[in-house]
A and B are shown apart, each in its own frame.
Chain A
């Protein structure tokens, strides 16, 4: 059992420990569950109401409606819970003095931070993949005869893009939380931003160009079927994520208990 410690095996041990922490804390578990439930519920409602609109020739349906894109709407609401997850994973260390216990166990701050961020990303991927695919299928099923298929043109790529988007947004939130060291500020900034803020900015002519560079607006290109700006969106969101996680790391390294 007692293997000699190499930096790699020490880091892997830290990752395993972070996984156990994550599984043991109810708030983080609950936010992941909420992500799945909200995403799939909205996906179902979305498909069902679109079907009714199509069959009654309701003009309220967006002109650019496609069944493929509708299949990716659920996660746009579900992502709020995933952002909460990213924030809680980090701030759970700061609420009770847990960080000191963690640093006693894993005193190398870079190792602890890397383990925390890796587990956050892994968890985000692990739930995003099934929820994204399932959400898409649920919408198509609800659309009935109007529904499309998983293999339709551009869909596999958009679904993969959605997983990348969700994972990066979750890490971005975790990075912001590491900078703030509390949950209130990140949630007060991130949730309104994703919910409405940047969308409103993108509707106003003067700020439309600026809004493209916000993480969520840029990232949306990733999950837009046949988007011509996928590379741009990915680059911008990645830059935000790297900046947030990097700055969070600087804060963690300087943290003096």
Chain B
């Protein structure tokens, strides 16, 4: 459980994080979303005791990160800006991390195996590809078998297989009752893995809600209709108050009229329907919509 209370950070005139309050609960994957510069990374660094907040607190299971005894056993963290020394081998890097927190040495081999770096254990980190470096960072996060994971852009540099592996890993970690917080700018990835969302913009909280609730409330759902006579059906539907957008292949995207009404309208007019399907808005669209609204509001 991560508890953030009224967290604020200013750099000179700029308020990067502005009175943030939220809780990250165990047993779920929580996605941390926001446009570039929204304050995600700064918030994560404050959670981990790397940056001092101007006001407010960030607690992990009731304690500030710096007060945790052997913190790697409580929290596994991956930050974009942290990188191990290039001259160390992967094994040496994990060994000193294990020693610093009195983690059993056997864990080093285990996590190298888990992230698929067992064969590269004795290679110097400077020779690693971006993806291998990311895997090593994840190995370091998993080293202490922590009940809390805080991962900043964990899919960066991973290949398709790696992304899939990470998704399964995060899912199983959450199912085991651990607290998992991840940030990502890849919306499709976030939509696949997160159960819960915390959305921030300009350092302020915009939403703290379940994934389906977020899309249900803020997203634009539509009905996809396919018929041999799209133009005539479109006029009929528009006459009934719906907004219709034409898509490639004679399809129509209908907003503002439920599928049942569309079906009746089509039947009444004698239009054969090749497709009638309801779609929830995508996370990406919903996110952009919410961020856009917030932008307009704050300009007023």
- Which residues of A line the B interface, CB within 8 A? 1-5, 9-10, 13-14, 16-18, 20-21, 23-27, 92-93, 95-98, 100-101, 103-108, 256-257
The reply to whether A105 and B65 form a contact with Cβ atoms under 8 Å apart is no
In which size bucket is the chain B interface? 35 or more
A-B contact pairs, 13 of them (CB 8 A): A1-B103, A13-B99, A17-B97, A21-B85, A24-B92, A25-B88, A95-B85, A101-B83, A103-B50, A104-B82, A107-B49, A107-B71, A257-B45
Closest to B51 in A: A256
Closest to B80 in A: A97
Within 8 A of A (CB), among B100-124: 100-104
B75-98 Cβ-contact flags toward A at 8 Å (1 or 0): 001010111111111001101110
Closest to A29 in B: B87
Closest to A7 in B: B69
Closest to A256 in B: B51
CB-based A-B contact count at 8 angstroms: 104
Give A227 to B99 CA distance when docked, in angstroms. 44
Min C-beta distance of B139 to chain A, whole Å = 12
Closest to A21 in B: B96
The reply to whether A105 and B87 form a contact with Cβ atoms under 8 Å apart is no
The 3 closest A-B pairs by CB, nearest first: A17-B100, A100-B82, A24-B92
Contact of A108 among B66, B83, B86, B101 (CB under 8 A): B66
The reply to whether B102 and A20 form a contact with Cβ atoms under 8 Å apart is no
Min C-beta distance of A60 to chain B, whole Å = 44
Closest to A16 in B: B99
Min C-beta distance of A19 to chain B, whole Å = 8
Give me 15 other A-B pairs in contact (C-beta within 8 A), A1-B102, A24-B93 excluded. Answer: A4-B69, A16-B99, A17-B96, A20-B95, A20-B96, A24-B87, A25-B87, A93-B85, A100-B81, A100-B82, A101-B97, A104-B77, A105-B96, A107-B71, A257-B81
Task: Find chain B residues with CB under 8 A from A92 CB.
Answer: 85, 87
Give A257 to B99 CA distance when docked, in angstroms. 24
- Which residues of B line the A interface, CB within 8 A? 45, 48-52, 65-66, 68-73, 77, 79, 81-89, 92-93, 95-97, 99-104, 140
Task: Find chain A residues with CB under 8 A from B96 CB.
Answer: 17-18, 20-21, 24, 105
Give A178 to B97 CA distance when docked, in angstroms. 22
Closest to B124 in A: A26
The reply to whether B85 and A105 form a contact with Cβ atoms under 8 Å apart is no
Task: Find chain A residues with CB under 8 A from B86 CB.
Answer: 95-96
The reply to whether B99 and A17 form a contact with Cβ atoms under 8 Å apart is yes
Closest to A254 in B: B52
The reply to whether A100 and B79 form a contact with Cβ atoms under 8 Å apart is yes
Give A26 to B86 CA distance when docked, in angstroms. 10
The reply to whether B70 and A10 form a contact with Cβ atoms under 8 Å apart is yes
Contact of B102 among A2, A26, A257 (CB under 8 A): A2
Min C-beta distance of B153 to chain A, whole Å = 14
The reply to whether B92 and A20 form a contact with Cβ atoms under 8 Å apart is yes
Task: Find chain A residues with CB under 8 A from B50 CB.
Answer: 100, 103-104, 256-257
The reply to whether B102 and A13 form a contact with Cβ atoms under 8 Å apart is yes
- Supposing A3-B102, A20-B96, A100-B79 touch, asked if A10 and B66 sit within 8 A by C-beta, the answer is no
The reply to whether B87 and A256 form a contact with Cβ atoms under 8 Å apart is no
The reply to whether B82 and A101 form a contact with Cβ atoms under 8 Å apart is yes
The reply to whether B85 and A5 form a contact with Cβ atoms under 8 Å apart is no
Give A16 to B103 CA distance when docked, in angstroms. 12
Give A92 to B87 CA distance when docked, in angstroms. 9
The reply to whether A98 and B85 form a contact with Cβ atoms under 8 Å apart is yes
- Supposing A21-B88, A104-B77 touch, asked if A97 and B100 sit within 8 A by C-beta, the answer is no
Closest to A115 in B: B100
Task: Find chain B residues with CB under 8 A from A105 CB.
Answer: 71-72, 96-97, 100-101
Min C-beta distance of B107 to chain A, whole Å = 10
The reply to whether B70 and A5 form a contact with Cβ atoms under 8 Å apart is yes
Give A78 to B264 CA distance when docked, in angstroms. 93
The reply to whether B83 and A98 form a contact with Cβ atoms under 8 Å apart is yes
Give A41 to B86 CA distance when docked, in angstroms. 31
Task: Find chain B residues with CB under 8 A from A24 CB.
Answer: 85, 87-89, 92-93, 96
Closest to A98 in B: B85
Min C-beta distance of B57 to chain A, whole Å = 15
Give A118 to B65 CA distance when docked, in angstroms. 24
Give A102 to B197 CA distance when docked, in angstroms. 30
Min C-beta distance of A80 to chain B, whole Å = 21
Identify the interface centre among A4, A24, A93, A106: most chain B CB within 10 Å of its CB: A24
The reply to whether B87 and A27 form a contact with Cβ atoms under 8 Å apart is yes
Min C-beta distance of B110 to chain A, whole Å = 14
Give A3 to B84 CA distance when docked, in angstroms. 26
Contact of B84 among A9, A20, A96, A256 (CB under 8 A): A96
Closest to B72 in A: A105
The reply to whether B101 and A101 form a contact with Cβ atoms under 8 Å apart is no
Contact of B69 among A10, A95, A101, A257 (CB under 8 A): A10
Min C-beta distance of A153 to chain B, whole Å = 46
